[in-house]
């Protein structure tokens, strides 16, 4: 009985010693060191692990920015200019090029009849003589026939030029028209279409001059032909629209018409 009791006592003493040793070991064991931030991320699996030796590191794909449609640069100005001009397939220049290449024919304003060609001076002199006579029939041989007939109306008519002029006059004999013809030829004139098929000497010079640019003396010239009311209507219309005379360089009386 004593032996048994003593063994139990020894066993219990051993348990107590072991318990004390275990507790002491736990108390004196070194504490786990604190993780650095990078180590903490590694610990949580948020940082890419270093690859093993011999393995290739996969390339990191850069995030591409979203862009709109691809825009091509504008062509060189020389190319744009060449593209804008379309030439016909036969190699002839385009119509726009022709118009751009053709220089404008200047209008020459003249007051000295001596500067006109001799055929022009001669025809003007014959017209003045016939009109000053007061006999409209004296104009007939000067008005021509057929292809060379002088245009005396902007509207086609079956009447002859003398009959048409009489119909335009305020009197039955055509005296008014003769007076207008003299007044028109007494003004300055213009040389138009020089060097072209449409070259002409035209009276009065108002026919080719903007009315807004007329000087006071030029307005006096105009009012010798028309009334002040007519002048006001012309300015509203935008140009001179009364009688005018045209003679070609070779002396043909081309027209004597009223209107624009």
Q: Is 111 left (phi over 0), alpha (psi -120 to 50) or beta?
A: alpha
How far, in whole angstroms, is CA 252 from its chain's centroid?
A: 41
pTM score, whole prediction:
0.61
Q: Is the pLDDT of residue 52 over 70?
A: no
Q: What is the pLDDT of residues 205-215, one digit of tens each?
A: 999 999 999 99
| Per-range mean pLDDT, top range of 14-23, 96-105, 155-164 | 155-164
- Token readout for 183 is 């007044």
Q: Is the pLDDT of residue 86 over 50?
A: no
User: Can you say whether the dihedral through the CA atoms of 163, 168, 169, 172 is positive or negative?
Assistant: positive
Task: Report pLDDT for 156.
Answer: 84
Sketch the domain layout of the chain as residue ranges. Answer: 108-257
Q: Is the pLDDT of residue 90 over 90?
A: no
Q: Where are the beta strands (DSSP E) in the chain?
A: 108-110, 189-192, 200-203, 244-247, 253-257
Q: Do residues 131 and 178 make contact, with C-beta atoms less than 8 angstroms apart?
A: yes
User: Can you say whether the dihedral through the CA atoms of 42, 46, 47, 48 is positive or negative?
Assistant: positive
How far, in whole angstroms, is CA 139 from its chain's centroid?
A: 50
Q: What is the pLDDT of residues 137-196, one digit of tens each?
A: 999 999 999 999 999 999 888 899 999 999 999 999 999 999 999 999 999 999 999 999
Q: Is the pLDDT of residue 231 over 50?
A: yes
């Amino acid at each position: 009985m004593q032996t048994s009791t003593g063994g139990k006592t020894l066993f219990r003493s051993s348990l107590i010693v072991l318990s004390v040793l275990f507790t002491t070991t736990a108390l004196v064991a070194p504490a786990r060191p604190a993780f650095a931030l990078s180590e903490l991320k590694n610990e949580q699996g948020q940082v890419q692990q270093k690859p093993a030796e011999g393995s290739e590191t996969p390339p990191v794909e850069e995030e591409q920015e979203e862009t709109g449609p691809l825009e091509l640069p504008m062509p060189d100005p020389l190319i744009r200019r060449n593209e804008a001009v379309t030439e016909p397939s036969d190699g002839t220049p385009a119509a726009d090029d022709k118009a751009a290449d053709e220089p404008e024919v200047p209008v020459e304003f003249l007051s000295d009849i001596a500067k006109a060609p001799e055929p022009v001076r001669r025809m003007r002199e014959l017209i003045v003589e016939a009109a000053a006579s007061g006999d409209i029939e004296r104009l007939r041989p000067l008005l021509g026939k057929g292809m060379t007939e002088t245009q005396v109306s902007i509207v086609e008519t079956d009447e002859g030029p003398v009959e048409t002029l009489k119909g335009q006059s305020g009197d039955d004999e055509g005296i008014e028209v003769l007076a207008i013809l003299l007044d028109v030829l007494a003004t300055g004139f213009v040389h138009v279409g020089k060097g072209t098929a449409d070259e002409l000497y035209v009276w009065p010079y108002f026919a080719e001059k903007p009315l807004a640019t007329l000087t006071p003396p030029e307005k006096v010239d105009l009012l010798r032909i028309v009334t002040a009311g007519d002048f006001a209507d012309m300015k509203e219309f935008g140009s001179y629209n009364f009688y005018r005379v045209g003679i070609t360089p070779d002396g043909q009386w081309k027209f004597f018409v009223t209107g624009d």
